[in-house]
Amino acid sequence: MTARRQAARIAALGVVPLALTTLSAAPATAHGSMQDPVSRVSACYAEGPENPRSAACKAAVAAMGTQPLYDWNEVNIADAAGKSKQIIPDGKLCSAGREKYKGLDLPRAEWPATAMKAGTHTFTYRATAPHKGSFELYITKDGYNPTKRLTWSDLEAKPFAKVTDPTLKNGSYVFTGTVPKKSGRHLIYSIWQRSDSPEAFYTCSDVTFGGAAGAAGAPKESSAPAAPAPKASAPSDAQIAEGAEKSTVDHHGHGDHKPKAADAKHTQHGRKAAEHTKRPETGSNVEAKNAKAPTAINNSGDHLAQTGGDDNTTTLAIGGAAVLAAGAAVLFTVNGRRRAARRGRG
């Protein structure tokens, strides 16, 4: 085999790991939001980010802008790792401590709400990028005051519903739970903690007991005045599709839209900017590296995702490919010089 062919072969071997890494280490992110009862961010998106109808959604847009509503399925912390209560500060539960979604934390008694009854309830969670994991649902204690910022102590100590890897049906996780007896206005807080990644997602769903959502106000135990509460509605498939072009969320194969030039500032090496992947600012947090992977489809047609490589894997593979390519170049140069020397002696 000639030196030229040896060099070409070594260079090709260096490129192969790089190509395989590009395919296997492509990031995949879970996304979603509570559909029943409707989460705050979903309800406001369904009203229309540019012209929301309810006073609460208008106030949310005034506080945070319209982009967070187009990114309704991205209220997350990439490195939560089961420590949600430790890393999300009081008063910022609905935004998961993220400045981007701060409008969801506004204390108001007229957030669009879902009528709720005590007893067995079927919950649905829209999953635009499903992953294995567990859901925990908490409800506020008696005496909850919606005109004050939500704190961890406002929630019952234990979740009233908890499920691992629930059924995925028509693009939504579906599971049942027993809702405790309550009266007046309350809030259901959900934590979706992935088991194949430290990433977790959060929602706040306003609910009312004992009457129509439109007539519910603060509970009798609180001093907050009663206020009209419009009925919450989840976004339809058509609304989700229509707003996809304005979303900066990359679903990586789960109904994602094509990258746009305007999204460049939100992307770093194929993943979202740091604001998407870091914990709330607490003074000691470090940006997480979110393990992600391509999507697989099971026999029922529902999407499930598998764990994949992280950015370190990509970096190592690229480094290895570069070393092999450099070695090939050196070998080619040395052999060329030897041939030249032999010609000179001849």
Shared-domain flag, residues 235 and 139: yes
Report yes or no on 286 lying in a domain.
no
* Domain's final residue, options 246, 262, 278: 246
pLDDT at 165 over 90: yes
Report yes or no on 330 lying in a domain.
yes
Residue 2: its pLDDT value, please?
A: 53
Shared-domain flag, residues 16 and 128: no
Lowest mean per-residue pLDDT among 193-197, 205-209, 239-243, 265-269: 265-269
Shared-domain flag, residues 19 and 63: no
Report yes or no on 115 lying in a domain.
yes
Report yes or no on 225 lying in a domain.
yes
Percent pLDDT > 90 in the chain is: 54
pLDDT at 73 over 50: yes
Residue 253: its pLDDT value, please?
A: 34
Shared-domain flag, residues 38 and 182: yes
Shared-domain flag, residues 35 and 12: no
Give the model confidence (pLDDT) of 176-191 as tens digits.
999 999 999 999 999 9
Top-confidence range, 28-42, 217-231, 285-299: 28-42
Report the alpha-carbon distance of residue 292 to residue 304 in Å, rounded: 12
Shared-domain flag, residues 20 and 39: no
Q: Report residue 126: phi and psi, to 5°.
A: -65, 125
What is the average per-residue pLDDT within 103-111?
97
pLDDT at 167 over 50: yes
Residue 291: its pLDDT value, please?
A: 37
Shared-domain flag, residues 214 and 320: no
Residue 202: its pLDDT value, please?
A: 98
- Give the confidence band of 228 by pLDDT, cuts at 50, 70, 90: low
What is the average per-residue pLDDT within 45-68?
97
Given a contact cutoff of 8 angstroms between Cβ atoms, the answer to whether 229 and 213 are in contact is yes
* Domain membership of residue 314 as a residue range: 3-24+309-345
What is the average per-residue pLDDT within 234-249?
91
Question: What is the domain-level CATH number for residue 119?
Answer: 2.70.50.50
Number of domains comprising the chain: 2
Residue 123: its pLDDT value, please?
A: 98
3-state secondary structure of 120: strand
Residue 342: its pLDDT value, please?
A: 60
Find, among 83, 93, 188, the residue nearest to 141 by Cα.
188
Report yes or no on 281 lying in a domain.
no
Mean pLDDT for all residues in the chain: 73
Shared-domain flag, residues 232 and 326: no
What is the average per-residue pLDDT within 336-340?
58
3-state secondary structure of 129: strand
* Domain's final residue, options 191, 217, 246: 246
Lowest mean per-residue pLDDT among 241-245, 253-257, 275-279: 253-257
Helix, strand, coil percentages for the chain (3-state, nearest 5): 35, 25, 45
Report yes or no on 270 lying in a domain.
no
Instruction: Report the predicted TM-score, pTM, of the whole model to 2 decimal places.
Output: 0.66
Shared-domain flag, residues 239 and 330: no
Report the alpha-carbon distance of residue 206 to residue 184 in Å, rounded: 11
Report yes or no on 284 lying in a domain.
no
Report the alpha-carbon distance of residue 297 to residue 305 in Å, rounded: 8
Give the model confidence (pLDDT) of 4-32 as tens digits.
555 445 444 444 444 333 333 333 344 89
Return the HEC string of 146-191: CCCCCCHHHECCCCCEEEECCEEECCEEEEEEEECCCCEEEEEEEE
Shared-domain flag, residues 14 and 35: no
Report yes or no on 132 lying in a domain.
yes
